Amino acid sequence: MTPERTAKLTQTLNRRQPDLTLITDQVHKPRNIAALIRTCDAVGIPRIHTVTPKEGYGFKGTTRGSDRWVKTQNHRSVSDAIAGAKAQGMKIYAAHFSDRAIDYREVDFTQPCALLMGAEKHGVSDEGAALADEHILIPMMGMVGSLNVSTAAGIILVEAQNQRLKAGLYEQSRLDPQEYKDTLFEWSFPDLADFCHKKGLEYPPMDDLLALMDAPAWYQAVRDGSAPKRQW
């Protein structure tokens, strides 16, 4: 791997925001999921949480490539997704029109938080709205009453990015060291990472230029069954 590519990967990973995430409440259109994940990558979100639509997904997988940079965790219910975020100390901000909704710019996005976005036609579910800590909205000055889910999420997440930039939250790595190490390997060797997951193997060590250290010895250890194991 070239030094330039190595620098790009490490700089991107250094800016990841582990205490900022997105929860999609039954968003089902592939193009919207893909657009949401690209936006999350752009603002430094390392993982998003999706809730399976009642009718199921009309496609396999999540984004067909975008999720190489942003991990996607699927949940069977919005309550499960929200509970997981709250267990990590995150506040839940639902993009939802209601009597208690506030302008999204009034929210402090520098604190641990999750943005909850609803399905294309119906918005955030009643359950999701009830479980959210706050309801937020984007003031609309024209004739159209709402925005596409990916457009709305982009507007809100750029505000979160701006607040975090001003607070200096992108200036140093904030990921757990093990997650940082694992993610850097997965970005550098996605196919080999998949192989290790399938075989229950620990990732082989890399050097400072993100090249495998003593690759022949590791492959031999895999063949003879002595390579370090790991439960994924």
Architecture of the domain delimited by 17-166: 3-Layer(aba) Sandwich (3.40)
Q: How far apart are CA 82 and CA 21, in angstroms?
A: 11
Domain extents in the chain: 1-12+176-232, 17-166
Q: How far apart are CA 2 and CA 113, in angstroms?
A: 36
State the pLDDT at residue 55: 60
The annotation status of 212 as a binding-site residue, yes or no, is: no
The annotation status of 36 as a binding-site residue, yes or no, is: no
**Top-confidence range, 1-10, 62-71, 211-220:** 211-220
pTM beyond cutoff 0.85: yes
Strands of the sheet containing 91-95, edge to edge, are: 71-75, 47-51, 20-25, 113-118, 91-95, 134-137, 102-103
Task: Give the number of C-alpha atoms closer than 13 A to the C-alpha of residue 47, restricted to the C-beta side.
Answer: 13
pLDDT in tens, 38-96: 999 999 999 999 998 766 555 554 444 567 899 999 999 999 999 999 999 999 999 99
pLDDT in tens, 108-159: 999 999 999 998 778 999 999 999 999 999 999 998 888 999 999 999 999 9
State the pLDDT at residue 121: 79
State the pLDDT at residue 62: 45
